[in-house]
Amino acid sequence: MTDDADPQAAIDAQREKHAHERDERVYEHTAGDDREGIPFVGAGPGHPRLLTVAGKELLEDADLVVHAGSLVNSELLEAYCDHAELVNSVGKDLEELVPLMRDAYGDGRTVVRLHSGDPAIYGAALEQMDALEHEGVPTYLVPGVTSAFAASATLRTQLTLNETANHVAFTRPQGKTLDAEDDHIAEFVGMGDVTTCIYLGTHAVADTMDRLVESGVAPDTPVSVVYHASWPDEDIIEGTVGDIGEKIDDAGYRASAMVLIGDAAAGAGYERSYLYGGWANQGDNDTETESPSDDD
């Protein structure tokens, strides 16, 4: 990086720049467009087929792929990046990653930054993008399938279900990064009609469940855990707030699992939606007409 730019200063400068005026590029492109710069691509949950078409094309064109280590399935790297230099970002800080990508891009190489799932969820993509932009390197995002969606597909359910789960929370438990007062899992679960999807919490399932019980959540509340959703060694462990901690400890999983709390994840009953009900078939059934229940 340039001598005067430490990463936090670069992030602050970029945020300041856009605080009063939106980046013009926001209005010039859709999320599916190929663009100038370094794409920050969501690799999806693991299975190579769950990468987007845009992501696959970008990887196939890349000279350098900086990827998220063991969170990205090596089968995906083998399938689409066998011609590219591969760099594992794990253990590298911004001071190392930003100059690496900046210099490669400056040398005319095609660079892709590959994050697991979708970069917008617990991805720390934006700080790399801001630091690169501050160094004059354009960047953009290419979405991916987040692991909560792979887990719900594995469980053959929806995260929202009419009358059962009206909301979804993407969250993480307290720990080194999140203070106890910012841990809202008990509030989400306590609402009753939320499917709570816990990222980054595999190592702390038992503690998380203990805290839920202490805060009054019923121990028989259903919990489904999907380890390595969409990977060859995918595993499903189902239980309740009262017993899932012990089951996960017994299985030995300490990372890479999605913890889903709530009735929808457990495949509970639900009410049929309006969308395919009598309401939708009454009168002029114009598919262009939007209604609040269009996607129910």
Ligand X SMILES: C[S@@+](CC[C@H](N)C(=O)[O-])C[C@H]1O[C@@H](n2cnc3c(N)ncnc32)[C@H](O)[C@@H]1O
The residue count for the chain: 296
Shortest separation between residue 146's beta carbon and ligand X, angstroms: 3
Of positions 94, 230, 237, 239, contacts ligand X by CB under 6 A: 230
Of positions 229, 237, 244, 248, contacts ligand X by CB under 6 A: 229
Q: Which is nearer to ligand X, 196 or 256 (CB)?
A: 256
List phi, psi (to 5°) of 255.
-160, 170
- The sign of the torsion formed by the CA atoms of 115, 118, 123, 125 equals positive
Give the per-residue contact string, 34-63, with ligand X (x = CB under 6 A; - = no). Answer: -----------xx-----------------
Give the per-residue contact string, 258-287, with ligand X (x = CB under 6 A; - = no). Answer: x-----------------------------
Q: How many residues bind ligand X (CB under 6 A)?
A: 26
User: Which DSSP string do the residues of 152-190 spell out, in sequence order?
Assistant: HHHTT--SSBTTTB-EEEEE--SSSSS-GGG--HHHHHH
Of positions 147, 164, 171, 208, contacts ligand X by CB under 6 A: 147
Does 7 help bind ligand X (rule: CB under 6 A)?
Answer: no
Asked if 81 and 59 touch (Cβ cutoff 8 Å), the reply is yes
Alpha carbon distance 204, 245 (integer Å): 8
Alpha carbon distance 34, 168 (integer Å): 31
Binding site for ligand X (CB under 6 A): 45-46, 71, 115-118, 121-123, 146-147, 150-151, 199-200, 202, 226, 228-231, 255-258
